[in-house]
Homo-oligomer: A and B are copies of this chain.
Amino acid sequence: MKTIENVPFDEIQVGQTCSHQKTITEQDILLFAKVSGDNNPVHVDGDYAKSTQFGERIAHGMYTAALVSAAMALELPGPGSVYLTQSMKFKQPVKVGDELTILIEVIKKRAGKNFVTFSTLVTNQHGDRVLVGEAMARVSTEKIVLPAPELPPVHFG
């Protein structure tokens, strides 16, 4: 079984990073529309989206943000931490087929309350920054290793 584990507060170092890749699919956008309730046709209707400034369907900005939060939840700082704040600028649209890189980097540690500040950056396959932000979490002082639950598949229709 796969596991997920954290980086405990004492082991976190300024400059430490984790990086993930994700290629955006139609199903990702549809599922995000479903779960968020945001069925704005710029996300789910290709014909309408063609008439907009974007020229084709785009992913929800908050979907890209969800990839950031997943990287933080699963790897850096990982389980046992508490997500406190997140700021973000949406710099470029994300489209189906885009290959995103999610980069989390430790930029500050604050002992006492075990607060850690992270830079959160998402770029696409052209090197364009699509999301730029900063997050803060309270990080566990203990090493945590957990089985990663398997989620059932999802079907539309």
CB distance from A79 to the nearest CB of B (A): 6
- Contacts A38-B70, A84-B90 given: A154-B151 contact, CB under 8 Å? no
Residues of the B chain whose Cβ atoms lie less than 8 Å from the Cβ of A83: 61, 90
CB distance from A12 to the nearest CB of B (A): 18
Verify A89–B79 contact, CB threshold 8 A. no
CB distance from A157 to the nearest CB of B (A): 4
Q: A154 is contacted by which of B44, B66, B155 (Cβ under 8 Å)?
A: B155
CB contacts under 8 Å to B, within A101-157, are: 146-157
Verify A44–B151 contact, CB threshold 8 A. yes
Verify A41–B73 contact, CB threshold 8 A. no
Verify B156–A40 contact, CB threshold 8 A. no
CB distance from A74 to the nearest CB of B (A): 6
CB distance from A86 to the nearest CB of B (A): 6
Known: A40-B79, A41-B148, A83-B90. 6 other contacts (CB 8 A): A32-B35, A35-B66, A41-B146, A42-B79, A61-B69, A152-B157
Interface, chain A (partner B; CB < 8 A): 4, 22, 28, 30-42, 44-45, 48, 60-63, 65-70, 73-74, 79, 83-90, 146-157
